[in-house]
């Protein structure tokens, strides 16, 4: 289990306990946190689960992007070099305390 902080574009913060094995995207959906759509259900084909990892330490600590994630991020709303797809971030105890920032919009 990990406590994940989701921060909306307007600065509003949400915190959720997310079970290990779920994705950070699923954590947001299950807790009704706005700002992440996850239209494709985690299939890495929609880029509507896009988040920024503003804390550089955290960005480096996360598992590296798999093939295809950057290609999908090209199609996200305002991607940056610290962008990730939250459906590809699988929660484990190691992610306790992770903060993700949501873009202004997803679609």
Partner 1 sequence: MIKTDAVIVGAGPTGLFCAHQLGIIGLKCEIVDNLDKIGGQCIELYPDKPIYDIPAVPECTGEELTNNLIEQIKSFKFNFHLNDRVQELKNENDKWIVKTSNGKEFETPNVIIAGGVGSFEPRKFPTKSAEKYDGKSVLYSIRDKSIFKDKSVVIFGGGDSALDWAIELSKTSKITLVHRRDEFRGAPASVQKVKELSESKVINLMTRYSIKDVKGNGSLESVEVKSETGESKVINADYVLGFFGLIMQLGPIAEWGLNLDKKTIPVNTENFETNKKGIFAIGDICTYPGKLKLILSGFHEGALAARGCFKYARPNEKYRFEFTTSSSTIKDRLGVKEND
Ligand X SMILES: Cc1cc2nc3c(=O)[nH]c(=O)nc-3n(C[C@H](O)[C@H](O)[C@H](O)COP(=O)(O)OP(=O)(O)OC[C@H]3O[C@@H](n4cnc5c(N)ncnc54)[C@H](O)[C@@H]3O)c2cc1C
In the complex, the residues that contact partner 1 under the rule CB under 8 A are 37, 39-41, 45-48, 70-71, 74-75, 77-81, 104, 107
Give the 3-state secondary structure of residue 57.
helix
Q: Show the tokens assigned to 74.
A: 């090209």
Burial of residue 84 (CB within 10 Å: 0-12, 13-18, 19+) is buried
Considering only residues 5 to 64 of the shown chain, the ones binding ligand FES according to CB under 6 A are: 25, 38-40, 42-49
Query: By C-beta, is 4 or 87 nearer to ligand FES?
Result: 87
Minimum CB–partner distance for residue 41 and partner 1 (Å) = 5
Q: Which residues contact 46 (CB under 8 A, 6 or more apart)?
A: 37, 38, 39, 40, 72
Minimum CB–partner distance for residue 96 and ligand FES (Å) = 22
Query: By C-beta, is 26 or 101 nearer to ligand X?
Result: 26
């Amino acid at each position: 289990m990990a406590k994940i902080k989701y921060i909306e574009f307007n600065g509003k913060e949400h915190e959720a306990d997310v079970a290990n094995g779920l994705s950070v995207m699923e954590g947001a959906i299950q807790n009704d946190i706005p700002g992440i759509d996850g239209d494709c259900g985690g299939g890495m084909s929609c880029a509507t689960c896009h988040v920024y990892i503003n804390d550089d330490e955290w960005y480096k600590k996360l598992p590296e992007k798999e093939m295809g994630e950057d290609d999908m991020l090209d199609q996200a709303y305002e991607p940056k070099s610290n962008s990730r797809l939250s459906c590809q971030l699988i929660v484990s105890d190691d992610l306790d305390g992770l903060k993700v920032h949501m873009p202004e919009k997803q679609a």
